[in-house]
Structure 1
Amino acid sequence: MTICLVLPCYQTRESILPLLEKVGLEIDWVILVDDGCPEKTGVYAIDNSSDSRLVLVEHGENRGVGAAVVSGFRKAIELHADIIVRIDSDGQMDPSLIPQFIQPLRGGLADFAKGNRFWSPETMSGMPAIRLIGNVILSFISKVSSGYWSLMDPNNGFFAIHAAVVRKLDLKKLDNRYFFESDLLFRLNTVKAVGIDIPMYSVYQGEKSNLNPAKSSIEFLVKHIRNIVKRVVYNYFVRDFNAASLQMVIGLFLLCSGTTYGCVNWAYFSSHGTYASSGTVMLAALPILLGFQLLLSALQQDINSEPKIPLHKLISVDYEKNDSMTE
């Protein structure tokens, strides 16, 4: 199998050469994507490394980490890659772990493998508290928006993916900046790709992040809500219509109608200084309880519907059928 490593490069000149020295022989090509870096990190690496596997892709201007990874994907496909690995170039990710990410794809267990820093207390030990709290919250929101309930640490940039699955994605639609990892999971779910978590450590040495937490929190929330709506509509009302679809419709109707009825009556009786009868209270409470229960049941079905059959195996079957028909 041909394996390509994609390294987005932006202001990581100090760490790039030590990182390249750690890249193992399992990698056939190392694609350096210089994303309009003012330090010319990619060019610097090419000029100062004797590694013949290096391939340079340059952006004339900074487009964002997501756009850099997509450019790396496109180059890897040009190089006929079977598996594409992506890590950051700032030295926080250990290239010696790459074989662990590749193995599930080689063995046909998954379509992509993603790093998980929350696997155990030991893997979380070096993470700053503020990052830990923020990543836990983002991980839960991402589970809802992506549909990958068994995966954790969605913003982890260490992953390996089968090239056949990358070809199934509309790369133009992927987010260009820091929401890329979460958006990639959402897109992978729409094609029913199977993912797996790989335990890993990260090294934190006081690196400054270019991410603005206040601004990005609002931006990420809006984009997650957008993806939740898209995924639910596509999976439960366009691609399929099943029991979970009915539960969502009826549950939302009951929840909204019960809440509306309760609020209207609460305002009415409060303005008249009287108490609502037990029957009025039940007419408001019962639809809310039933609606909430139906939505919980739909949620459980969504959790159980996480993809289980690797997509690249199905693609291989399709190719074999086409070849036999041609013959």
Structure 2
Amino acid sequence: MRVAIIPAHNEAATIGSVVLQTQPYVETVVVVDDGSTDTTARVAELAGAQVLSHDRNRGKGAAIQTGLRAGVKEGADVLVLLDGDGQHDPDSIPDLVEPIERGESDLVIGSRVKQGNGTPPRHRKFGRAVLDTVTNAVSDTAISDTQSGFRAMRAELLKKVEFEDAGMGIESTMLAEATGASARISEVPIEEHYPETASPNQHSVGHALTVLNSLLKIVRRDHPLLVFGVVGVLSLLFGGYLGYDTATHYWATQEFWPGRAMLSMLFSIIGTQLITAALILDTVRLKGNN
């Protein structure tokens, strides 16, 4: 059984047609109205979707989580995710779900390599390239379009992972979490439709910062020895340098620098604490994985 999940925030102009175009390829369409102030929920309902509404705007990730839970309750075997703004072509759904239904993949990403209607601005393309590079480095993948919101997954995957990101970083964190659960991930080419009137709900810079923050949380959680350890060692080295400089200056001139001496002790203490924290957190992580 296929269930489509469509997170939507103020998409009244497009959500109806997206629902209608999606229905032939799935048994149920679930639209999660993420605190819209327009008629998104009403239009989606009239188009035949099952509508779940948030009382306020909680973020795309939260909307996807709500939709995934609803899809599992519906008894879905395959869950399809797509946006409500019309940039994804529902006719590509069979291509997305095919690797899953053949038993070859657990998560399939729709890679926007074919040009449809309209072209995204250059700054958005550049932002995607940056986020693709960072996401692939963090999640240890080689996905060509990590930020694509058009994807399908095996419902069984949700028993192994929880996609907890509530914001726009959900696409990246989903890849990282799926990789951590040893999920089989693949891509299929899709068209990208980018109408000239398209207006993203979040500025591209804000979007990028949100995604990078989400990835940083994953790195901090999964690689504490790297994050805290490196900073701790640098702090300890800097403290040692200040201490050495203070000591040699006093030896040569008999002039004592109290300020630099205090900074040396401060950075040395901070470095020692960070290294200790890194070792403890890494030990906890390793025990949790066993």
Report the TM-score range of the alignment, normalised by the length of the smaller protein. 0.7 to 0.9
Q: Please point out which of 130, 137, 151 is paired with 1:137.
A: 130
How high is the TM-score relative to the length of structure 1?
Answer: 0.66
Residue 201 of structure 1 is matched in structure 2 by: 191
Partner of 1:76: helix, strand, or coil? helix
Q: Please point out which of 159, 168, 178 is paired with 2:160.
A: 168
Residue 10 of structure 2 is matched in structure 1 by: 11
Residue 174 of structure 2 is matched in structure 1 by: 184
Within 2, Cα distance between the matches of 1:164 and 1:210?
31
Residue 306 of structure 1 is matched in structure 2 by: none
Partner of 1:88: helix, strand, or coil? coil
Cα deviation for residue 95 of structure 1 reads 0.0
Equivalent pairs counted in the alignment come to 241
Structure 2 residue 96 is the aligned partner of structure 1 residue 128: no
Residue 287 of structure 2 is matched in structure 1 by: none
CA contact (8 A) 1:102 1:160 kept: yes
Partner of 1:92: helix, strand, or coil? coil
Q: Please point out which of 68, 74, 80 is paired with 1:85.
A: 80
For the structure 1 residues 222 and 33, does the alpha-carbon distance in structure 2 shift closer, same or farther, using more than 3 Å as the test? Answer: closer
Q: Residue type of the partner of 2:159?
A: R
CA contact (8 A) 1:31 1:76 kept: yes
What stretches of structure 2 of length at least 5 have no aligned partner?
Answer: 246-290
Map 1:47-62 to 2 at 5 A: 47=46, 49=47, 51=48, 54-62=49-57
Q: Residue type of the partner of 1:188?
A: A
Structure 2 residue 24 is the aligned partner of structure 1 residue 34: no
Q: Deviations over 1:286-320 (max 9, x none)?
A: xxxxxxxxxxxxxxxxxxxxxxxxxxxxxxxxxxx
Cα deviation for residue 24 of structure 1 reads 4.9
For the structure 1 residues 101 and 216, does the alpha-carbon distance in structure 2 shift closer, same or farther, using more than 3 Å as the test? Answer: closer
Structure 1's consecutive aligned runs of 4 or more residues displaced over 3 angstroms after TM superposition are 122-125, 213-220
For the structure 1 residues 30 and 181, does the alpha-carbon distance in structure 2 shift closer, same or farther, using more than 3 Å as the test? Answer: same
Q: Residue type of the partner of 2:133?
A: F
Partner of 1:211: helix, strand, or coil? coil
Cα deviation for residue 55 of structure 1 reads 1.2
Cα deviation for residue 123 of structure 1 reads 7.6
How high is the TM-score relative to the length of structure 2?
Answer: 0.73
Cα deviation for residue 101 of structure 1 reads 0.4
What stretches of structure 1 of length at least 5 have no aligned partner?
Answer: 238-247, 269-327
Cα deviation for residue 77 of structure 1 reads 0.6
Sequence identity (%): 23
For the structure 1 residues 14 and 166, does the alpha-carbon distance in structure 2 shift closer, same or farther, using more than 3 Å as the test? Answer: same
Map 1:1-327 to 2 at 5 A: 2-47=1-46, 49=47, 51=48, 54-117=49-112, 119=113, 126-147=119-140, 149-171=141-163, 174-206=164-196, 207-232=198-223
